[in-house]
Amino acid sequence: MADTLTTHGNGHAAHHGDYLDDPKGLASWLTTVDHKRIGLMYMWSVFFFFLVGGIFALLVRIELLTPKQTIMTAEMYNRVFTLHGAIMVFLVIIPAIPAALGNFALPLLLGAKDVAFPKLNLASLYVYWTGALMAVTTLALGGVDTGWTFYTPYSSTTGGGVTLMVLAAFVLGFSSIFTGVNFIATIHKLRAPGMGWFEMPLFCWGMYSTALIQILATPVLAITLLLLCMERVLSIGIFDPQLGGDPVLFQHFFWFYSHPAVYIMILPAFAVISEVIPTFSKKTIFGYKAIAFSSVAIALLGFLVWAHHMFTAGMSLFAGAIFSFITFFIAIPSAIKVFNWIATMWRGSISLEAPMLHAISFLLIFTIGGLTGLFLAALSTDVHLHDTYFVVSHFHYVMAGSNLIAFLAGIHYWWPKMFGRMYNKRLAAIGAALVFLGFNATFLPQFVLGSRGMPRRYYNYLPEFQSLHVASTIGSWILASGLFLIGAYLLASLRQPKSMVANPWGGRTLEWETDSPPTTHNFEGQPVLQHGPYDYRANPAPVGVEEHIH
């Protein structure tokens, strides 16, 4: 029904051909500097690795169906869960929203023709592919059995492809830095005339805070990983006590990056949700500045709390107290956002299209994910729960649950813009429901497993834990079937003719003012902003488009 809302702007047949077909051919894609094409290539790559990481996840869950060996040996199991984690973190969740959706949507939302450094953007994609190839090659070297956290001295002494995997993560870091630099410059320099900082769509604020972390924290990871490689290859003795090093130092370095990195994984999700909820509530966002500033606050606070991953590693009492104290402050901006989103829906005109269904499931899942952080931020309860399935469940709620479901919301939101086609909405609603149910069925039991004492990364376990593991494994299949359904109808939609209107959802941000799919240069001329991003007062007010020669 919303499809017919607005067809103003440049909804008529484009004069230039759209960016998907002009120019044609594989070579033109591989050498493109168009942010939209780069975004799509990132998206397909992320989908691919999500499939690979997902298959490893299902294997892990099948193995855990019984307390002893089910389908693989302990060595295999350790490699499978490591690869699952490393692929999901470095190749899927970190790039999913910023590199795929961000690349596609950010310049459109700003009314820009492209990102600030288009060639750097293409380079970041190739760097990503290189890193991905290296990560996959480790399989041929006997795999990696360290877990995605690479804790020393285990990682500096075990065999297999650890060195290559660590180098892969190092390379992938550069891809992330390039994207971050590009986004910061783009947001500073390429906003449409009339778009002040506080007239930017909130998605841009989310990308901005993410980019800040990417360029400030990733170098620390890069150095840490290089040190680990040197340790393995040259035995320099920084982390290995046998060589006079300190194994806990690695954890400090690692989490100094990786804690902020968990916010690289969630701020983009906030960014997507802040677009979807106003559009499908047809109402201006509640507390724009609070949402914008809380993203930046989370990005900055994220640098001060890394050692909360190490409360049981023998820190001093004082250090533990400080890190715990600061960690709690992260809960506040997260809470503020949730209330703001719900307030945006209040007295709105709510349309339950697929993106909105995913946004609602995000709200529920993130509530659990964020609140379960409190158990881990509090010192005495963390001592019990650290390194158990409780933590596994907590971070899946925020990473897999919140980040991926927000990613799905974004995919469904911008799909008609990307391809000029609509997916089957009934199947989309079923898919969203299956993902929500399957996700909770998989991970809710794991909270109980963890608080009952089941440690993480266990191949064998005590029989008393079996029923909860079985429940979790069944959940994983429901989740997988939802995701397969989504993949199937999205692909099927691409076989229809392009017939989408410019603004199928009645959105008020600039990307809806151009064709679906957009032309190569995004807009006919330079769009000039005439109302705020979520301003539904004039209903619907056309946006002025100055004709420019280009």
Partner 1 sequence: MNWFQNWMLPKAAATHAGDVDGLYMFIVYLTIFFFFFNGALILYAVRKWRRRSAKEVTPHITHNTKMELIWSIIPLFVVMGIFFWGFKGYVKAWVPPNDSMEIVVTAKKWVWQFEYPDGTRTLNDLHVPLNKPVKLVMHSEDVIHSFFVPSFRLKRDVIPGRYTELWFTPTEPGVQQVFCAEYCGKGHSDMLARIFVDTPEQYETFLREGDEQVRKMPLKDLGKLVYENKGCATCHSLDGTRGQGPSWKGIWGETGKGADGKPYTVDANYIRQSVLQPQAVVVQGFEPIMPTFQGLLREREILGVIEFIKSVK
**Rounded to the nearest whole angstrom, what is the least distance from the CB of residue 82 to ligand HEM in the complex?**
12
Do the Cβ atoms of 428 and 352 come closer than 8 Å?
A: no
Please state, in angstroms and rounded to a whole number, the distance separating the CA atoms of residues 71 and 117: 48
The least CB distance from residue 10 to partner 1, in Å, is: 21
Footprint on residues 311-350 left by ligand HEM (CB under 6 A): 327-328, 330-331, 334
3-class secondary structure, 545: strand
Residues of span 398-427 touching ligand HEM by CB under 6 A: 398-399
Stretch that binds ligand HEM, among 189-197, 206-214, 258-266, 439-447 (CB under 6 A): 258-266
The residue among 36 and 308 lying less far from partner 1, judged by its C-beta, is 308
Distance separating alpha carbons of residues 337 and 358, to the nearest angstrom? 17
Inter-helix orientation angle 247-281/288-301, to 10°: 170
How big is the chain by its Cα radius of gyration, in Å? 23
Cα–Cα distance measured from residue 305 to residue 324, given in angstroms and rounded to the nearest whole number: 8
Selection from ligand HEM, partner 1, none that 32 binds (CB < 5 to 8 A by kind) is none
448, interface contact from partner 1, ligand HEM, none, CB < 5-8 Å by kind: partner 1
**Part of the chain binding ligand HEM (CB under 6 A), chosen from 1-9, 15-23, 388-396, 528-536:** 388-396
Using CB distances below 5 to 8 A depending on partner kind, what does residue 262 bind out of ligand HEM, partner 1, none?
Answer: ligand HEM
Say how far residue 519 (Cα) sits from the centre of its chain. Answer: 27
Is residue 362 at the binding interface for partner 1, with CB under 8 A as the rule? no
β-strand partners of 18? 519
Q: Which residues between 420 and 449 bind partner 1 (CB under 8 A)?
A: 448
Touching partner 1, residues 338-357 (CB under 8 A): 338-340, 342-343, 345-352
Residue 345 contacts which entry, ligand HEM, partner 1, none (Cβ below 5-8 A, type-dependent): partner 1
The vertex-485 CA angle with 207 and 372, nearest 5°, equals: 50
**Whole-angstrom Cα distance, residue 296 to residue 208?**
8
Contact 307, 319 (CB under 8 A): yes
Max intra-chain CA distance, the chain: 72
In whole angstroms, the minimum distance from the beta carbon of 92 to ligand HEM comes to 13
d(CA 66, CA 89): 27
DSSP 110-121: HT-SS-S-HHHH
Tell whether residue 202 is a contact of ligand HEM (CB under 6 A): no
Strand ranges, E, within 235-333: none
Given the structure tokens 């974004």, which residue do they identify?
410
Residue number with the smallest Cβ distance to ligand HEM? 373
Binding mask 265-304 for ligand HEM (x = CB under 6 A): xx--------------------------------------
- Per partner kind, with CB cut-offs from 5 to 8 A, the member of ligand HEM, partner 1, none near residue 47 is none
Instruction: Give me the sign of the Cα torsion angle 13, 15, 19, 22.
Output: positive
Instruction: Show the site string, 450-479: x = touches partner 1 by CB under 8 A, - = not.
Output: -xxx-xxxxxxxx-----------------
Considering only residues 112-151, where is the footprint of ligand HEM by CB under 6 A?
149
How many angstroms separate the CA atoms of 190 and 192, rounded?
Answer: 6
Determine if 210 is a binding residue for partner 1 (CB under 8 A).
no
Q: Which residue ranges make up the site for ligand HEM (CB under 6 A)?
A: 149, 262, 265-266, 308-309, 327-328, 330-331, 334, 370, 373-374, 376-377, 382, 386, 391, 394-395, 398-399
